[in-house]
Amino acid sequence: MNFTNEVWVFIEQRDGKPADVSFELLCKGHKLAQSMNGKLKSLVIGDGVKEIAKETFKYGVDEALLVEHSSLKNYRTLPYSRIINDLVKTIVPRIVLFGATIIGRDLAPRVASNTRSGLTADCTDLQVSDVKYVGKDYANLLLQIRPAFGGNIIATIITPEVPTQMATVREGVMELTPVEYPNEIKITRIEYKPDPIDELVQIIEQHREDNKVNLKAAPIIVAGGYGLSTKENFRLVEELAHTVGGEIAGSRAAVDAGFVTPDRQVGQTGVTVRPKLYIAVGISGAIQHRAGMQESNKIIAINSDPEAPIFEIAHYGIVGDAMEIIPAFIEAYKHKLK
Amino acid sequence: MFNSIVMVKQVPDTANISGKVMKDDGTVNRTKLPAIFNHEDRVALELALQVKEKYGGKVIAITMGPPRASDVLRECLYMGVDETYLVSDRKFAGADTLATSYVLSEVIKKIGNYHFVFAGRQAIDGDTAQVGPQTAEKLGIPQITYTEEILKVEENKIKIKRKLDGGYEIVESTLPVLITVLKDVVNPRPFSAKRVMAFKNARSVMDLEKLAEENSLLYIDKLVHEYKEKNLLINTFTMDDLNLDVQRCGISGSPTKVHKVESVVLKGGNQIKIEPTKAGLNNLIDQLMTDHIFA
């Protein structure tokens, strides 16, 4: 099997701003490249995005591949996938990573289909390891780890027989840490050759609101669940968040019940967070929720059911009625500050 | 007049896992999960039916799966599709998204004469959202994923509102195009009682083969002919009906392999129990202040 020993990360940009998840992937990609003695390359596509290409070196990139053209300003499936298809087929990198964003999940399957590569969606962890599979030994395979089957199992997927292994990874799952000694900046420009097929889909207009809610950046998150029963009771969660300077969040059940807006949903189908403190109030702790918060530095669980799974991962557990505990907590906290 | 092909899938109901399907060791017994119509595909079908009602044309539903997947095709008939195709063969078993999209794209090419291919964004048994885009790539046509609303269909183009991370965009595509649909964009219509009566006896060729095997008085060719005459035949494609490279189907055409599966086990461990009392809460807050978590 012929391939180049390289890890590529597709750097997603929206309105010329790089997506956090792409830099998170570079950090992971850096580790993967090290463990297979390979190189890490960032793949930057857009219009006037050289600064983004430069920025990727903070995260351990050896070389940036840069494709710039005025018609590539906004992401569109056809030109972007054509560019990556050609690059993958010419250079044959060992690993290509994409964010599991709307753009990543639109783009990655198209590229995997064209290049007949293996692709695993929504990975929560990636490792490089030697693997014995059906009696054969494979060196340095990418282990693509993801929850499956409604979150009831964790599956490790491998793609042993293809030269290029691809995966998408959700935002916030990998840690973002710049490297201590960045490599010298080396940007390679790739020429874009326009094709009529690239223009089959046109963007008429775009509306993007800057994320008003930024759960991922919040050091403290107070999240409520369905156990709070009513929207009025959920106000207590808001009050607690306000008191301790945290952001408000909710489980999927709380969002479905209308207690809190969807942009504040934590979990597998919401946001993945790793704050300094996560306070879970009236959240039972289904696997789908835990997947989005179990990496939190400290977890406090407040629940009337002592058997609730949330207690299994909590650092501090308080069994009791949230309607009494929260006001007491707020009062105690305010008293301390005096 | 616009013709649509809708890709639908029968999936295990992973969302509603009850005690009945749990094994003694606490893992899920997948064979016991009920098989259901993937919800997002039903939403995609509804959109296709609305296009038909507004602009005329035909709606064809296709599914790949074991013979019993003809259940979802009957449901498609109850909702209003004109034709159905079951794509089923042992050689297709174990297909990942790449092998699935290969077979489905060949089926779509064989059916031909389409303007739209519709599908749900993703299926609940894998949540990959890959089969739609992978099929579009193999067909060499554009795709619009995460569709929220069809705004306008014209002679040779369609205008669609689709979701973006943190917003939306309005795009215009030439035809044909593959469209994947988000779960809440429209409510799928209920079954029409009249259509249920009309199509409840619709059968796939595989169903009929089974019938013929069980009863020596029935001949398969005659049965197929009869059902076709009555408009009750669920068309069936097997490996032999399609011009396929066997190496690209089923397990051999699937690069992704499951290396390891672990049931989720809760970590458990060093939890500190806090009494819900004033003293208990005070201690907790002190601890968090010492750790510089609280200012």
> What is the rounded average pLDDT for all residues in chain A?
93
> Within 13 A of B71's CA, how many CA atoms are on the CB side?
13
By CA distance, what is A13's nearest residue in B? B165
B236-271: b or e for each residue (b if 16 or more CB lie within 10 Å)? bbebeebebeeebbbeebbbbbebeeeebeeeeeeb
**Amino acid letter, B144:** I
Number of Cβ within 10 Å of residue B167's Cβ equals 13
CA-derived radius of gyration, chain B: 24
Mean pLDDT comparison of A64-73, A232-241, B218-227, B271-280, highest-scoring range: A64-73
What are φ and ψ of residue A180, in 5° steps?
-70, -45
Which residues 42-71 in chain B show a CB within 8 A of chain A? none
Q: What pLDDT was estimated at residue B265?
A: 60
Q: What pLDDT was estimated at residue B28?
A: 60
pTM here is 0.86
DSSP structure string for A90-103: HH-EEEEEEESSHH
Average pLDDT over residues A93-120: 97
By CA distance, what is A116's nearest residue in B? B98
* Chain A touched by B94 (CB under 8 Å): no
Residues A304-321 pLDDT 10s: 999 888 998 999 999 999
- Pairing type for strands B10-12 and B35-37 reads antiparallel
Residues of A in contact with B172 (CB under 8 A): 201-202, 204
SS (H, E, C) chain B: CCCEEEEECEEECCCCCCHHHECCCCCECHHHCCEEECHHHHHHHHHHHHHHHHHCCCEEEEEECCHHHHHHHHHHHHHCCCEEEEECCHHHCCCCHHHHHHHHHHHHHHHCCCCEEEEECCCCCCCCCCHHHHHHHHHCCCEEEEEEEEEEEECCEEEEEEEECCEEEEEEEECCEEEEECCCCCCCCCCCHHHHHHHCCCEEHHHHHHHHHHCCCCCHHHHHHHHHHCCCEEEEECHHHCCCCHHHCCHHHCCCEEEEEEECCCCCCCCEECCCCHHHHHHHHHHHHHCCCCC
CB contact under 8 A, B134 and A112: yes
Q: What pLDDT was estimated at residue B271?
A: 81
By CA distance, what is A333's nearest residue in B? B285
Residues of B in contact with A213 (CB under 8 A): none
Give the number of beta-carbon pairs within 8 Å between A and B.
232
Mutate to test the interface with B, among A78, A95, A102, A290 (most CBs of B within 10 A): A102
Number of Cβ within 10 Å of residue A282's Cβ equals 31
Q: How far apart are CA A107 and CA A101, in angstroms?
A: 10
* Chain A touched by B251 (CB under 8 Å): no
Q: Domains in chain A, please, with CATH?
A: 4-199 (3.40.50.620), 215-337 (3.40.50.1220)
Using CB atoms, which residue from A78, A277, A312 is nearest to B268? A312
By CA distance, what is A100's nearest residue in B? B128
Is B76:B46 a contact under the CB 8 Å cutoff? no
Angle B172-A110-A266 (CA atoms, 0-180°, nearest 5)? 85
Is B174:A200 a contact under the CB 8 Å cutoff? yes
CB contact under 8 A, A154 and B261: yes
The ranges of chain B with pLDDT < 50 are: none
**Amino acid letter, B255:** P
Which residues 256-285 in chain B show a CB within 8 A of chain A? 256-264, 266-268, 270-276, 278, 280-282, 284-285
Kindly report whether the peptide bond that precedes residue A93 is cis, defined as omega within 30 degrees of 0.
Answer: no
Question: Minimal Cα–Cα distance from A185 to chain B, Å?
Answer: 30
Residues B192-221 pLDDT 10s: 999 999 999 999 999 999 999 998 888 999
pLDDT at A190 over 90: yes
Choose the weakest-confidence range: A289-293, A334-338, B135-139, B218-222: A334-338
Closest CA to A64 of A176, A183, A170, A202: A183
- Provide the pLDDT confidence category of residue A338 given band limits of 50, 70 and 90: confident
What would the CATH number be for the domain defined by B4-253?
A: 3.40.50.620
Q: What pLDDT was estimated at residue B29?
A: 67
By CA distance, what is B147's nearest residue in A? A102
Q: What is the dihedral of CA A52, A57, A58, A61, to 10 degrees?
A: 130
Residues B63-82 pLDDT 10s: 999 999 999 999 999 999 99
Higher pLDDT, A240 or B26: A240
Average pLDDT over residues A323-336: 92
**To which residue do tokens 């973006």 refer?**
B164
Closest CA to A81 of A107, A115, A120: A107
C-alpha pair distances (Å), A238 with each of A304, A328, B86:
19, 15, 51
Q: What pLDDT was estimated at residue B261?
A: 86
- Pairing type for strands B10-12 and B143-154 reads unpaired
- How far does Cα A324 stand from its chain's mean position? 36
**Amino acid letter, B42:** R
For residue B111, give both structure tokens. Answer: 């059916």
- Provide CB contacts within 8 A for A336, sequence distance 6+: B282, B285, B286, B289
Using CB atoms, which residue from A106, A204, A208 is nearest to B167? A208
Q: How far apart are CA B239 and CA B245, in angstroms?
A: 9
pLDDT at A208 over 90: no
Average pLDDT over residues A24-50: 97
CB contact under 8 A, B259 and A131: yes
CB contact under 8 A, A152 and B264: yes
Beta-bridge partner residues of A221? A247, A278
Residues of A in contact with B177 (CB under 8 A): 201
A76-97: b or e for each residue (b if 16 or more CB lie within 10 Å)? bbbbbbbbbbebbeeebbbbbb
Ramachandran region, residue B157 (left: φ > 0; alpha: ψ -120 to 50; beta: rest):
beta
Average pLDDT over residues A95-101: 97
- Provide CB contacts within 8 A for A66, sequence distance 6+: A44, A49, A50, A53, A187, A188, A189, A190
